[in-house]
C-alpha cells in the first residue's frame, strides 16, 4: 500500500528576519524506517578570521535564505528526515512514484521463486533491497563489533590505471543466492588511531573464499551508502552550469581546479554527476548501476551480469528475464528518486547560523561545496523546474590529496579525485553517534572529515584548523543546520 501523510506548512520563501527557519512545505511524506532524534546547539559568535592567502574573492553569503530545496522542500521530520516525497506533487505523477516506491522497498528474490516482477537478484550481490543500504532516518551503521561490516558499505576494486580485477571485477559481492554457492569473500576492518597529523580512520582486509583468488595488487575502496535527498534536483542542474564552474587549470589562481568528469554515453560524452566519483550521468543510470553492481539485477542500461568471464556462476544460474528489471520498473524507481524531497534547515539561532555560513565561505569550503544552484526545466516534474536550491556541491571532481587517494581509478576519475558530495541534510546525519563520513566512512565526525581533506582542499583545512574553538563550533552549528 502507498501510504501518504500531509504535514502542515507553507511554501513562502524564508527571510533573514525569521528567528528560526522551520518547515516551509505542504508535503507528502513516505515513512519507511525507524526514527532518530536529537539536536545540536552552539553559542552565537561573530567570525574573526584572517583573510586567506589567495587573491580571488571568496563566495559571498546569501542575504535571503530561500527554501533549501525550492518547491521540493519539506518539514525536517525528526523521525523520517529522508526518503520523503516532495510537496504538492500532482496526482498524475503518482503513477510512477507510487510503484517506484514499492520497487525501492521490495526485497528481490532469486529467479524462479514465483515473483516474476521482483526476481532475478544475484546470483552474487551485496543487497537484495534498496532499503538494505538506504534509510529514511539517516545513514545506516557501517562498522559493527569485532571488525565486522554491515551491508551499508561496498568495495570497489581496481588500480590507478582503471583496470578491474580479473576475477572479481569492479566490485566485491559478499552474498550469494544459495548457501552452497561460494561468495567472493569477506571484508573486515581495523580502526586506526590518529597519528602524524592524520585523524583516526580505518583499514580494510579481504579474506577470499577461494584462496587461489587473492586481490594481489588490486586496490580496494570502501563506499558507504549516502543519505538520499533531492536527487531529482541534482539531476536537473544544467550541464552548462556544471561546465561553467569548472576550472581545471586553476586560471583564477585560487588553488581550486575542479573539473568535469566526462563520461562516454552512447558514443557521446556527457557530464558525470552521480556517485562518489561522478561516474553516472543521470539518476536513471545511477539507479541502473546500483541494480547491476549491488543487487545483480540486469536492466536495458546494463545487460551483462555483474560477474567476469572467470566466474561461471553468473552465466549458468537462472535469470529473472532479459532484462530482469523492465524499463517501466527502472523508470518508476527513477520517478520515486526524482520526487525525493529536501528537509528544511534546522536553525536554533539565526545569528549563529549566519556567522557559520560566513565562516564556511571565508575558510574556503564554499569554493567546492557551492551553496546554491538552480535547476533547469522538467517536463515530467514541472514543480522542479527553475528552482533555486542549496545542495552545497559543484558536482565536479577535485584532487583531494594523498590521504584520500584510494588507488582506484573509475572511468576518467583518477584515484585521488572525488566528486564534491552534496552537504544538504548532513547535520541530520551527524546527530547519530554512529554516523560516518567521507567515501569509506573513515571519519567519525564532521571535523575529522575536514581534517582528512588535502590536495585542492589543503588551504581550507589549514584555515579551519586555525579557527578558534568558538569559531569552529559556529561553523559546525551551520553545517548541522543545513
Q: Tell me, what's the pLDDT at 51?
A: 37
Q: Specify which residues 165 forms β-bridges with.
A: 169
pTM, 2 dp? 0.87
Contacts 24+ apart (CB under 8 A), 56-59: 56/252, 56/253, 56/254, 58/361, 58/362, 58/364, 58/366, 58/367, 59/361, 59/366, 59/367, 59/370, 59/371
Average of per-residue pLDDT across 335-344: 98
Per residue in 271-319, pLDDT tens? 999 999 999 999 999 999 999 999 999 999 999 999 999 998 888 899 9
Q: Can you tell me the distance from the alpha carbon of 45 to that of 225, in angstroms, rounded to the nearest whole number?
A: 34
- Which set of grid coordinates corresponds to residue 399? 584532487
Output the pLDDT for position 49: 37
The grid cell for 450 is 575536514
Task: State percent of the chain over pLDDT 70.
Answer: 87
Helix locations, 209-321, DSSP H? 231-235, 239-245, 283-295, 313-316
Distance CA 277, CA 264 (A): 14
* Run of H or E including 333: helix 327-338
Element containing residue 125 per DSSP (H, E): strand 124-125
Confidence of residue 151 (pLDDT cuts 50, 70, 90): very high
pLDDT at residue 239 tops 80: yes
pLDDT digits (tens, 9 = 90+) for 398-456: 999 999 999 999 999 999 999 999 999 999 999 999 999 999 999 999 999 999 999 99
Instruction: Provide the pLDDT confidence category of residue 60 given band limits of 50, 70 and 90.
Output: low
Amino acid at each position: 500500500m502507498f501510504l501518504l501523510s500531509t504535514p502542515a506548512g507553507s511554501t513562502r520563501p524564508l527571510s533573514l528576519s525569521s528567528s528560526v527557519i522551520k518547515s516551509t512545505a505542504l508535503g507528502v511524506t513516505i515513512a519507511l524506517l525507524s526514527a532518530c532524534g536529537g539536536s545540536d546547539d552552539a553559542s552565537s559568535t561573530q567570525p574573526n578570521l584572517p583573510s586567506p592567502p589567495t587573491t580571488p574573492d571568496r563566495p559571498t553569503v546569501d542575504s535571503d535564505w530561500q527554501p533549501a530545496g525550492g518547491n521540493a522542500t519539506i518539514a525536517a521530520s525528526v523521525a523520517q528526515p529522508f526518503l520523503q516525497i516532495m510537496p504538492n506533487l500532482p496526482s498524475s505523477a503518482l503513477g510512477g512514484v507510487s510503484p517506484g516506491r514499492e520497487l525501492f522497498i521490495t526485497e528481490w528474490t532469486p529467479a524462479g521463486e514465483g515473483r516474476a516482477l521482483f526476481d532475478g537478484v544475484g546470483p552474487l550481490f551485496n543487497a537484495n533491497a534498496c532499503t538494505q543500504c538506504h534509510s529514511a532516518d539517516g545513514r545506516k551503521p557501517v562498522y559493527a563489533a569485532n571488525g565486522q561490516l554491515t551491508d551499508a558499505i561496498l568495495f570497489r576494486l581496481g588500480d590507478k590505471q582503471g583496470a578491474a580485477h580479473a576475477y572479481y571485477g569492479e566490485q566485491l559481492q559478499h552474498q550469494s543466492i544459495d548457501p552452497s554457492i561460494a561468495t567472493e569473500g569477506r571484508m573486515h576492518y581495523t580502526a586506526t588511531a590518529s597519528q602524524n597529523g592524520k585523524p583516526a580512520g580505518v583499514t580494510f582486509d579481504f579474506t577470499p573464499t577461494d584462496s587461489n583468488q587473492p586481490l594481489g595488487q588490486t586496490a580496494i575502496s570502501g563506499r558507504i551508502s549516502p543519505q538520499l535527498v533531492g536527487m531529482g534536483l541534482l539531476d536537473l542542474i544544467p550541464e552548462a552550469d556544471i561546465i561553467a564552474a569548472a576550472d581545471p587549470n586553476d586560471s583564477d589562481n585560487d588553488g581550486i581546479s575542479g573539473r568535469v568528469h566526462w563520461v562516454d554515453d552512447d558514443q557521446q560524452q556527457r557530464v558525470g554527476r552521480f556517485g562518489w566519483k561522478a561516474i553516472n550521468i543521470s539518476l536513471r543510470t545511477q539507479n541502473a548501476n546500483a541494480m547491476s553492481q549491488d543487487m545483480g539485477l540486469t536492466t536495458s542500461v546494463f545487460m551483462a551480469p555483474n560477474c567476469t568471464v572467470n566466474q561461471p556462476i553468473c552465466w549458468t544460474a537462472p535469470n529473472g528475464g532479459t532484462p530482469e528489471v523492465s524499463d517501466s520498473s527502472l523508470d518508476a524507481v527513477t520517478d520515486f528518486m526524482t520526487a525525493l524531497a529536501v528537509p528544511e534547515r534546522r536553525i536554533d539561532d539565526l545569528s549563529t547560523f549566519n556567522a557559520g555560513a560566513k565562516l564556511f565561505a571565508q575558510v574556503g569550503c564554499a569554493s567546492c561545496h557551492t551553496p546554491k544552484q538552480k535547476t533547469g526545466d522538467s517536463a515530467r516534474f514541472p514543480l522542479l523546474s527553475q528552482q533555486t536550491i542549496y545542495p552545497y556541491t559543484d558536482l565536479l571532481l577535485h584532487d583531494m590529496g594523498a590521504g584520500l587517494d584510494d588507488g582506484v581509478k573509475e572511468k576518467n576519475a583518477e584515484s585521488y579525485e572525488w566528486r564534491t558530495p552534496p552537504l544538504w541534510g548532513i547535520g541530520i546525519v551527524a546527530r547519530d553517534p554512529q554516523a560516518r563520513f567521507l567515501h569509506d566512512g573513515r571519519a567519525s565526525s564532521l571535523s575529522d572529515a575536514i581534517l582528512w581533506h588535502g590536495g585542492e582542499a589543503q588551504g581550507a583545512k589549514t584555515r579551519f584548523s586555525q579557527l578558534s574553538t568558538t569559531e569552529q563550533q559556529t561553523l559546525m552549528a551551520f553545517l548541522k543546520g543545513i
